[in-house]
Structure 1
Amino acid sequence: MSSYRIIGLLALLCGFTACERPTPPLAAGKEPAYDLTAYLQEQTARLQQEQPPVLKSVITKGQPTETIQLEELDWEKELAIFQEVDLSRPALRDFYSDERHTLPNGSTMSVFTKNVEAAAPVERLQLTVSPAKKLEQLEAVVLEENLLFYSKRNIRLMAEPGTGNLSSYRVEGVQKLIFGDSLRYRVDANL
């Protein structure tokens, strides 16, 4: 009787492992996307501690530009929009095609483009990474739409050459509710 239990448990265990979806293999010679989450966590911790002054400008359609200098920011909230475009997770690899180019200065530019049938909000992501594996620049297009809402954002993050520390970012976009006017906006922040 106990041997039937062992066989049953082994069969059950094999059944569970057979249902697991394996991580898709990387194409030959390709590394995973840059770990943007780790970079943003590092920058958030650094900026929360240092609290550098930030010159922030906001432009909305039909309104004058508002520019203010901020001495304290919640950097986790401030950089959350960039967290949305991290494509380093294995589950997202199947949704994007990627091209990598080496630039004359030795940096690598990776461009990730969403496959037509994929249901993911990031349409395109471009990362430039130095030979020392420090982020230099990020550009992305994020598109979200449904029957009631449309939002398209172009986001850009610039880092200091050499250190990879965040130096500026921009969020430019348009939002529209089905029964309302569209709102165009741009936010620039310089550290």
Structure 2
Amino acid sequence: MARHIPIFFLVLLLATTACERPTPPTSAEAEASYNLTTYLEQQIERLQAEQPMVLKSVTTEGTPTETIETAAVDWKDELAVFEQADLNRPALEEYYTKQEQVLGNGSIIVEYNRVEDAEPLVHYLRLELSPDRKLKQLNALLQDQNVLFYSRRNVQLSADPASGNISGYRVEGVQKLVLSDSLHYRVDANL
């Protein structure tokens, strides 16, 4: 019987370790994905509190450019298109390939490309981060299509590399309803 006691403890030890939770990812793995939604929520909160002046130009096909300067901006609505580009969700991982590259100046480029035959909303996302992982630039291609509607938008967001705060953005796109002409448009905003 004394011989079976060490085997019993070995089996008990293996059963206990099998039930343990997996270790969280290392800090390098945890930093690999950038949470765009959290960043935008922080920026919306900051912008609503500060209410900076914004120079905004809107151009639609066949009409002259309209430019206004205002501090009255609904930032949640204004930045919603960029929230659509957030790919930091496990359910979306299978639709993209991801490449990360560190540049000579320490900046980090993270690119997501949709895999062939996948039809997600975000077709391409490129993030440029500072060495301390603050957003410097975002570029994305968003495309949505169904029987009644087609939309394709190239979106760009620029941030101050020192603070990470949004300094400007652009949305350029086309949309078409099934029984109407296409509408090409462009929105530029500088803070």
1:128 deviates by 0.5
Q: Which residue of 2 aligns with 1:164?
A: 164
CA–CA separation in structure 1 for the residues paired with 2:63 and 2:33: 39
1:119 deviates by 3.3
Q: Which residue of 1 aligns with 2:53?
A: 53
Identity of aligned residues (%): 51
Q: Which residue of 1 aligns with 2:152?
A: 152
The answer to whether structure 1 residue 185 and structure 2 residue 185 are counterparts is yes
Residues 87-129 of structure 1: CA deviation (Å, up to 9, x unaligned): 0111111111011111121011011001123231100000011
CA–CA separation in structure 2 for the residues paired with 1:72 and 1:33: 33
CA–CA separation in structure 2 for the residues paired with 1:156 and 1:113: 16
Residues 123-160 of structure 1: CA deviation (Å, up to 9, x unaligned): 00000111111000000000001122111000000000
Residues 52-81 of structure 1: CA deviation (Å, up to 9, x unaligned): 000000000111010000112111111111
Larger Rg: 2
CA–CA separation in structure 2 for the residues paired with 1:133 and 1:101: 13
Q: Which residue of 2 aligns with 1:173?
A: 173
Q: Which residue of 2 aligns with 1:103?
A: 103
> What RMSD over aligned residues (CA atoms) do the two structures have, in Å?
1.6
What SS is found at the alignment partner of 1:133? coil
| Structure 1 residues 18-37: aligned runs within 5 Å | 31=30, 32-37=32-37
Unpaired runs of at least 5, structure 2: 1-24
Q: Which residue of 2 aligns with 1:121?
A: 121
What SS is found at the alignment partner of 1:62? coil
What SS is found at the alignment partner of 2:45? helix
What SS is found at the alignment partner of 1:112? strand
What SS is found at the alignment partner of 1:118? coil
Runs of 4+ in 1 over 6 A off after TM superposition: none
CA–CA separation in structure 1 for the residues paired with 2:85 and 2:185: 19
1:46 deviates by 0.4
| Structure 1 residues 62-141: aligned runs within 5 Å | 62-141=62-141
What SS is found at the alignment partner of 1:40? helix
CA–CA separation in structure 2 for the residues paired with 1:123 and 1:84: 11
CA–CA separation in structure 2 for the residues paired with 1:179 and 1:88: 36
What SS is found at the alignment partner of 1:168? strand
Residue identity in the other structure for 2:162: G
Unpaired runs of at least 5, structure 1: 1-25
Q: Which residue of 1 aligns with 2:13?
A: none
Residue identity in the other structure for 2:69: Q
1:30 deviates by 5.0
Residue identity in the other structure for 1:76: K
What SS is found at the alignment partner of 1:82? helix
CA–CA separation in structure 1 for the residues paired with 2:175 and 2:33: 29
Residue identity in the other structure for 1:106: G
TM-score when scaled to structure 1? Answer: 0.82
CA–CA separation in structure 2 for the residues paired with 1:185 and 1:41: 26
